[in-house]
Amino acid sequence: MLRTHTNGELRLADVGKLVTLTGWVQKNRKMGGMTFIDLRDRYGVTQLVFNQEINPELCEKANRLGREFVLQITGKVAERSNKNRNISTGEIEIIVSVLKVLNEAQTPPFTIEDETDGGDDIRMQYRYLDLRRNCVRKNLELRHKMAFETRRYLDQQGFLEVETPVLIKSTPEGARDFVVPSRMNQGQFYALPQSPQTFKQLLMVSGFDRYFQIVKCFRDEDLRADRQPEFTQIDCEMSFIEQEDILQMFEGMSKHLFKAIKGVELSDFPRITFADAMKFYGNDKPDTRFEMKFVELMDTLKGYGFSVFDEAEYIGGICAKGAAAYTRKQIDALTDFIKRPQIGAKGLVYARVEADGNVKSSVDKFYSQEILQKLKEKMNAENGDLILIISGEKTSKAQKQLSELRLEMGNQLGLRSKNVFSCLWVVDFPLLEWDDETQRFYAMHHPFTSPKPEDIALLDTNPAAVRANAYDMVINGVEVGGGSIRIHNSGLQKKMFEILGFTPEDAEYKFGFLMNAFKYGAPPHGGLAYGLDRLVSLFAGLDSIRDCIAFPKNNQGRDVMIDAPSLIDNVQLEELALSVKK
């Protein structure tokens, strides 16, 4: 090693030792006849000292060192007179006797500090410098730890990590596949997996019993703010289980992670049905760090001549505790917020519960104080609370709008701390979703999800009412994982493809191998997948998954650092028998 110690290692007990350190120049400051350099590596920062009087030549050399120069120094550990309690090595410094520049550095285009002066674009272009920043590297250290602890837990539970192929077959259903032209089979393509779903099910057919994999998956989607074309899943599957076993196993895993990584002991996760999640939060991934549940107000507010409500299919309210003092301006801002095209509400009705218990609403001319008192009671509101009401001609749409309002109020009232973790399971998802545009059903989870046995009969009569043995793990309003009990019967799987509008030929071409496998003794099985990127972001308190990915892509799917994607040689195209249309 070119060093005897790291820059995070030396303490008072080491005073007097001759040590060799390596690292980067974080700071270089001259004070009187002394030069101080902060030498940085992954492990910490150590202060180096050069004295003009004792060794003028060495000190001069030190003065010429720029930021981010790479050094190897040898010197004696000394106690610092002016101790720095903020860093672990703050009690000592090194009186340098030998200084070697291992590599020079141009001045970086932005400062290598937690609070940097570099904007997003330049930091992405020079990501290798951005990654030098403590706050960015910490996220990747956390990611390493979380992946390692995940493996440790699953290994202890008897899971085997099995690698499934990356070059597979294109079976687009939902998102688009990335495809890979085959040179040896010209005109044919591999696809990159959107998930190892079918392979993990085949491993269950093989009797692997407990499988997992931390694995890259790929989706060629138009990228929204927080999506990446390649992302990482903790993918798991178990045999001879029921839904309850999966929930227990992975609730256990989440608890293990919170304990091992954050030292937090979580209590058992509440469970809520999809129907209740929509009813109380208008959201299948409710943020339960705060209450503010929806209260349905059709009985309370309909039929008093306020046409907006009278014509509504849904009227719902939330009670913002202690927010009665909201000004007109604040409420107008909320109204603007929910009227934005992304949310699309038509308006907001509010009712303040004043200090004396009177209720004052924006629709006083339609409602008597008596009715408003009933509203107050129904909302379980107390003096000083603010009731916010949204209605709509379509229940699901109005609930979605009210959900956005609820989350915004959570933000405004400081109820969504990143240091609080509220976990739950959402269960009993519908099996199918009807799509008006294409006039067909889509699988809400995926085509391999099993209907609840008691609902199978409904598949023929009322498919929309069929519930699935599907579940999502939600933490702080983020869906960190989800899964289902799978179909393990060849005939039921075939029927499912029919309902989803596959022709028998298409189903056979795309998934024949799976339906065939089910004929040779498939065990009951199920599983789930966590989004590792999201899980790490949540643990790190990040706003974007991008910050926990070493080399992320931008919203156009580009890696601006290496400049990919890019043109390829004509030779390469010819070998693949491809041409690009102009």
Instruction: Give CA–CA dist 473/483, Å, rounded.
Output: 9
> Residue 79 or residue 155: which is nearer to its own copies going by CB?
155
> Residue 132 or residue 352: which is nearer to its own copies going by CB?
132
* Residue 358, C-beta contacts closer than 8 angstroms, at least 6 positions apart: 369
Phi, psi of 50 (to 5 degrees): -125, 135
Instruction: Give CA–CA dist 555/551, Å, rounded.
Output: 13
Find out whether the peptide bond into 165 is cis, omega within 30 degrees of 0.
Answer: no
Q: How far is the CB of 99 from its own copies (least distance, A)?
A: 15
Q: How far is the CB of 88 from its own copies (least distance, A)?
A: 16
Q: How far is the CB of 543 from its own copies (least distance, A)?
A: 20
Q: How far is the CB of 60 from its own copies (least distance, A)?
A: 21
* Residue 506, C-beta contacts closer than 8 angstroms, at least 6 positions apart: 497
> Residue 238 or residue 318: which is nearer to its own copies going by CB?
238
Q: How far is the CB of 326 from its own copies (least distance, A)?
A: 43
Q: Which run of H or E residues covers position 346?
A: none
> Residue 45 or residue 402: which is nearer to its own copies going by CB?
45
Tokens of 508: 């056979």
The residue behind tokens 């779903």 is 197
Closest CA to 358 of 331, 391, 409, 324: 324
Question: What radius of gyration do the chain's Cα atoms show?
Answer: 30
227: Cα separation from own chain's centroid: 9
Q: How far is the CB of 499 from its own copies (least distance, A)?
A: 21
> Residue 91 or residue 237: which is nearer to its own copies going by CB?
237
Q: How far is the CB of 411 from its own copies (least distance, A)?
A: 31
As a whole number of Å, the end-to-end CA separation of the chain is: 55
Q: How far is the CB of 556 from its own copies (least distance, A)?
A: 6
Q: How far is the CB of 319 from its own copies (least distance, A)?
A: 43
Which runs of consecutive H residues, i.e. helices, occur in 385-502? Answer: 395-412, 458-461, 490-499
DSSP annotation of 556 reads T
> Residue 454 or residue 520: which is nearer to its own copies going by CB?
520
> Residue 199 or residue 290: which is nearer to its own copies going by CB?
199
Q: What is the per-residue DSSP string for 1-66?
A: ---SS-TT---GGGTT-EEEEEEEEEEEEEETTEEEEEEEETTEEEEEEEETTT-HHHHHHHHTPP
- Distances in whole angstroms, Cα of residue 317 to Cα of each of 171, 260, 375, 381: 43, 40, 9, 11
> Residue 83 or residue 216: which is nearer to its own copies going by CB?
216
Q: How far is the CB of 422 from its own copies (least distance, A)?
A: 28
> Residue 241 or residue 295: which is nearer to its own copies going by CB?
241
Q: What is the per-residue DSSP string for 176-207?
A: PPPEEE-STTTT-EEE--S-SHHHHHHHHHTT
Hey, what amino acid is at 143?
A: R
Q: In 3-state terms, what secondary structure has residue 391?
A: strand
Cβ atoms of residues 228 and 552 within 8 Å: yes
Q: How far is the CB of 86 from its own copies (least distance, A)?
A: 20
Instruction: Give CA–CA dist 190/175, Å, rounded.
Output: 16
Closest CA to 413 of 389, 385, 390, 383: 385
Phi, psi of 470 (to 5 degrees): -125, 150
Q: How far is the CB of 243 from its own copies (least distance, A)?
A: 12
Instruction: Give CA–CA dist 403/343, Å, rounded.
Output: 10
> Residue 53 or residue 520: which is nearer to its own copies going by CB?
520
Q: In 3-state terms, what secondary structure has residue 228?
A: coil
> Residue 412 or residue 490: which is nearer to its own copies going by CB?
490
> Residue 91 or residue 251: which is nearer to its own copies going by CB?
251
Instruction: Give CA–CA dist 11/88, Å, rounded.
Output: 8
Q: How far is the CB of 526 from its own copies (least distance, A)?
A: 11
Strands 210-218 and 160-161 come out as parallel
Instruction: Give CA–CA dist 375/296, Å, rounded.
Output: 10
> Residue 313 or residue 506: which is nearer to its own copies going by CB?
506
Q: How far is the CB of 209 from its own copies (least distance, A)?
A: 4
> Residue 97 or residue 489: which is nearer to its own copies going by CB?
489
